[in-house]
Structure 1
Amino acid sequence: MRTPILQFGTSRFLQAHADLFVSEARAAGQDVGPISVVQTSGDPARAARLAALTSGYDVRIEGMEDRTPVQRVTRVNSVARTLSTETDWAEITRVFVEEARMVLSNTGDSGYDPCPADGTDAPVQDLSYPAKLTRLLASRHAAGGRPIQVMPMELIADNGTVLRDRVLELAEGDALRAWLMRDVTWVNSLVDRIVSQPLEPAGAVAEPYALWAIEDQPGLILPCDHPAVQVVSNLSEIETLKLFILNLAHTWMADQFRQDPEFTPALVRLFVARREATLRRLYETEVLPAFDAAGMGQVARAYVETTIGRFANPYLDHRLEDIAQNHAQKVERRIKAFLSWAEAQGDTAPKTSLSRIVTRTLKA
């Protein structure tokens, strides 16, 4: 068995996004995958999930597609092997060196944060994801250095570039650093799909809408040919719209949930049903002026309407409690970053609600 795709992360998002796309492409006859999935957390509570991934699992797609209700189940069979950095490092290294042509990752909002052990000889599990990746790349380089493509999927602007720069900081030796720049293709990409809840022991419920936007560059290899996979010349506009309209609103809702326990069950669709006018007022008074200043007002208003429709999906139970995880990091990247971006565009409109969230969360 050989797995050309090595994936770090076992999240329900990946299960309903990249893993599903590769599975559908394989079912259509494409010579892509399969995937080895690596659990980076070492959490023993997820052992059942790891075992279930290789047996195949269901993704339930529910929502509106071309104004038509959609409810369908897709079986995902693209995961051939599962490993854990806690117990299987030698095998992960072998797969990385001998089999992998492409590396995917989605390690959460704090996945790139440095750990104290980074850059030391500490046990693998004490390292951040970039430090783990650096060790694996060094092993591949030492074994002959065949080219490889790294495709992070974390919701970080210019994620491939950011990950590359962190790996270069950690890499030791001019020869290794030169190889990392010459023979490793670092890909910027943006992913989008609302995945509202897990199925047990593996699988998920997701909306019909899905996007994997990949920034073009020389030598780029696509993970598969799929309608949701789009190659674009520049990710900037898509990133800005998603981060500062959809993701910002999710974090704003999560902050409301943290301050107000009234919503039970606390679901995005119920929040929108009750407070759509408040959400629209936030967009109109605090968010859209920045897009107007950037010359993106028309496309941003269209994106707002699409986003509210996705939020209101009557089929998805998207829990605010889940969105509120890693809240401080999300406020930093989605709201504080928006305030800085708005100022850079010349937008001087007051941002009272958003500024209050930043102050309350990051200066507490």
Structure 2
Amino acid sequence: MPNPSVLQFGTSRFLQAHADLFFAESMPDARPVTVVQTSGDARRAARLAALAKGYQVRIRGLVNGVPTDTVQEVSSIRRGLSFEADMAEVQDLAQRVDIILSNTGDTGFSPTPADAKPDLCPKMSYPAKLAHLLHRRFRAGARPVQIMPTELIRNNGTQLRHLVCQAAADMGKEYHDWLCHEVVWVNSLVDRIVSQPLYPAGAVAEPYALWAIQDQARLTVPCIHPAVQVVPDLGVIERRKLFVLNLGHSLMVSEWLEKGRFGPVHVRDVMQDADWAARLRALYKDEVRPAFVLAGEAEGLDDYIETTLGRFANPYLDHRLEDIAQNHAEKLDRRIGAFLSWAQAHGDSGPKPKLRAALQGQIE
């Protein structure tokens, strides 16, 4: 049985160093990917043209504490199309592929005035575009397709289905039912720090990578790769990312702000400060780990914490504390505040002084 082909919306360096790289590493001769530029940004035309010629991803970081710096060749992308210039071809491909993948940025799901137009338009939001593309597929009698958003939205497949079904509200009940019940909408969580682009295409990324996919009926696993995990529930992975990785970032920023933004500039600088790194490790052990134990989610946690500390220490990654500090109050509530509530709900009544002090802006 041939491997399914992929129509990808978005040319981001993240996907270049994530899904597109996984396709190349797992099945380089059997996974044709067509990339569609949705933004209409002329500055990205060179990137679009270069992708189909093959590009490099440079992997730089620590693996088991040892520095690594390698280059991977990526040849999974066979074609690059502009939605605006090649709309007819995109419509044709959308009828024939088995997987539609997306990473459309922070505003890709946000509605636009063009969404109200009766016919497909390049200025539409991604959900509205998808509603029109899939309507054409439905009318052609093609089999249902698998939709795989990788946008950093909780339950991203479910959310996208809701938005596409809304956009298709006036396109007929039969089509609406087909969208809601026959098309496979996949929830997933992705993680990899892709620190900088290469030109005209390619990227620099850390060694760590994850594509966690929630299992469901009729799921097609996009590729066989160590970074791809099919799991019954994304909740455990989401909580680890939020309450270990993201919480650690916010804790660093809290202490940095309390010191008047003095000292470290990057996350790696924090890990090079022996006392600061030791405090962070102790916090994970004393204030974070007990909640996961009581919630029944301790399996694999210690390895995840060690991996996270290694990611923080990446000597090649310029992850600025100043950047993490953006929207700090909201992040504190979503990361540390939510963790404290979750811990208490699972019977962890420990004092957690460092986390509570960070939440109140009083960390020392």
TM score, norm. by length of structure 2 = 0.81
Q: For residues 138 and 78 of structure 1, do their structure 2 counterparts lie closer, same or farther at Cα, with a shift above 3 Å needed?
A: same
Measured in 1, the distance between the counterparts of 2:87 and 2:272 equals: 47
Residue deviations 1:77-135 (CA, integer Å, cap 9, x gap): 111112233433332222112x3110111223444344455455487344332222222
Q: For residues 276 and 221 of structure 1, do their structure 2 counterparts lie closer, same or farther at Cα, with a shift above 3 Å needed?
A: same
Query: Is the counterpart of residue 112 in structure 1 residue 109 in structure 2?
Result: yes
Query: Is the counterpart of residue 137 in structure 1 residue 138 in structure 2?
Result: no
Asked if 1 retains the 8 angstrom alpha-carbon contact of 2:4 and 2:99, the reply is no
Equivalent residue, structure 2, for 1:47: 45
CA drift of 1:356 comes to 5.8
Asked if 1 retains the 8 angstrom alpha-carbon contact of 2:255 and 2:358, the reply is no
Query: Is the counterpart of residue 102 in structure 1 residue 90 in structure 2?
Result: no
Asked if 2 retains the 8 angstrom alpha-carbon contact of 1:103 and 1:150, the reply is yes
CA drift of 1:148 comes to 0.5
Query: Is the counterpart of residue 84 in structure 1 residue 89 in structure 2?
Result: no
SS of the aligned residue for 1:47 comes to helix
Instruction: Give the AA of the match of 1:296.
Output: E
Residue deviations 1:243-288 (CA, integer Å, cap 9, x gap): 3321343456578889966568x43312433443564476567655
Measured in 2, the distance between the counterparts of 1:135 and 1:326 equals: 36
Q: For residues 73 and 302 of structure 1, do their structure 2 counterparts lie closer, same or farther at Cα, with a shift above 3 Å needed?
A: closer
Measured in 1, the distance between the counterparts of 2:268 and 2:245 equals: 14
Asked if 2 retains the 8 angstrom alpha-carbon contact of 1:159 and 1:188, the reply is yes
Give runs of aligned pairs for residues 252-291 of structure 1, distance below 5 A.
262=262, 266-274=265-273, 275-277=276-278, 279-280=280-281, 283=284, 287-288=288-289, 290-291=291-292
Instruction: Give the AA of the match of 1:223.
Output: P
Equivalent residue, structure 1, for 2:72: 74
Q: For residues 248 and 85 of structure 1, do their structure 2 counterparts lie closer, same or farther at Cα, with a shift above 3 Å needed?
A: farther
Equivalent residue, structure 2, for 1:151: 148
Asked if 1 retains the 8 angstrom alpha-carbon contact of 2:188 and 2:214, the reply is yes
Give runs of aligned pairs for residues 199-218 of structure 1, distance below 5 A.
199-218=198-217
Q: Which moved more, 1:182-191 or 1:340-349?
A: 340-349
Q: Note the residue ranges of structure 1 that are not aligned, 5 or more in a row.
A: 358-364
Measured in 2, the distance between the counterparts of 1:116 and 1:24 equals: 40
Measured in 2, the distance between the counterparts of 1:228 and 1:182 equals: 29
CA drift of 1:74 comes to 0.8
Asked if 2 retains the 8 angstrom alpha-carbon contact of 1:3 and 1:35, the reply is no
Residue-pair matches, total: 351
Measured in 1, the distance between the counterparts of 2:119 and 2:326 equals: 28
Measured in 2, the distance between the counterparts of 1:43 and 1:325 equals: 26
Asked if 2 retains the 8 angstrom alpha-carbon contact of 1:195 and 1:318, the reply is no
The CA RMSD over aligned residues, in Å, is 3.5
CA drift of 1:318 comes to 3.5
CA drift of 1:171 comes to 1.8
CA drift of 1:165 comes to 2.1
CA drift of 1:198 comes to 1.6
Equivalent residue, structure 2, for 1:8: 9
TM score, norm. by length of structure 1 = 0.81
CA drift of 1:337 comes to 5.4
Asked if 2 retains the 8 angstrom alpha-carbon contact of 1:58 and 1:204, the reply is yes
Equivalent residue, structure 2, for 1:247: 246
Q: Which moved more, 1:330-339 or 1:301-310?
A: 330-339
Residue deviations 1:194-252 (CA, integer Å, cap 9, x gap): 22222122111122222222222222112222222222222221121113321343456
Measured in 1, the distance between the counterparts of 2:151 and 2:228 equals: 16
Measured in 2, the distance between the counterparts of 1:344 and 1:45 equals: 49
CA drift of 1:23 comes to 1.1
CA drift of 1:69 comes to 3.2
Instruction: Give the AA of the match of 1:353.
Output: A
Instruction: Give the AA of the match of 2:358.
Output: S
Residue deviations 1:15-65 (CA, integer Å, cap 9, x gap): 1111011112233x5x3x211112222222222221221121111112233
Equivalent residue, structure 2, for 1:167: 164
SS of the aligned residue for 2:60 comes to strand
Identical counterparts, % of pairs: 55
